[in-house]
Copies of this chain bind each other. A is one copy, B any other.
Amino acid sequence: MLHTFDLRVYYEDTDAGGIVYHANYLCFAERARTEFLHKLGLSNHKMLSEDIGIVVSHLEIDYKQPAFLEDKLTVETSVLKMGAATMLLKQDIKRDGILIAGLKVSVAFVCMSAKRPIRIPQELRSKFETYQE
C-alpha cells in the first residue's frame, strides 16, 4: 500500500531560479508524513503534548526534474523498513506520474524532553506495516 498526498506549488515554494527551492521538497515530504499519520489516527500535536516527537535522523534526496510555480505534485509514501524505534520511509514526489524528487527518510520516535529514542507502540507498528513494500 502507498499513501498519497497532493499539493500545489505556491510562490513561497519557488526561488529566483524560477523553480521550486530544493529544501522545500523536504517540507512537502513532511506534510505528507503528517497526513499519513492522520490517516493512521495519529497527530503530531497530540504526540508533542505527550512529549513524543517523530524526528528525522537521516535523509537522502535525489533531484530528478525541476518543479514550477502552480504545479500539482503528489507525494507517494511507503515504508521500506521498520526498527524498534525507527522507520525508513520512501517518498516519491511526482508530477503527472513523472518523478520530480525521490527521498529516503529515516525517522525516529523520541522522547522530546529526554532526547532519547522510544519504542514504536505495537498497535502503531502494525498499522505502518500495511504500508511496507
B-facing residues in A62-92 (Cβ within 8 Å): 62-63, 66, 68-70
A125 and B70 alpha carbons, distance in the complex (Å): 22
Task: Name the residue of chain B whose CB is nearest to the CB of A26.
Answer: B23
A44 at the interface (CB under 8 A from B): yes
Return chain B residues, CB-CB under 8 Å to A56.
22, 63
Annotate A29-69 by CB proximity to B: 1 below 8 A, 0 otherwise.
01100110010000111001000010111111111001011
* Residue A128 CB within 8 A of the other chain: no
- Least distance between A45 CB and chain B CB atoms (Å): 4
Using Cβ atoms and an 8 Å threshold, which residues of chain B touch A59?
Answer: 22, 60-61, 63
A112 in contact with B18 (CB, 8 Å): yes
Give 20 new A-B contacts, CB below 8 A, not counting A17-B55, A18-B112, A23-B30.
Answer: A10-B27, A11-B16, A12-B15, A15-B15, A16-B44, A16-B69, A17-B48, A22-B26, A22-B59, A23-B26, A23-B27, A26-B26, A34-B70, A44-B69, A48-B69, A55-B66, A57-B62, A57-B63, A59-B61, A60-B60
Would you give 21 A-B contacts (Cβ < 8 Å), ordered by A?
A8-B34, A10-B31, A11-B17, A11-B21, A12-B27, A16-B18, A16-B48, A17-B53, A18-B112, A22-B26, A22-B59, A23-B23, A23-B26, A23-B30, A34-B70, A43-B70, A44-B69, A55-B66, A59-B61, A60-B61, A66-B115
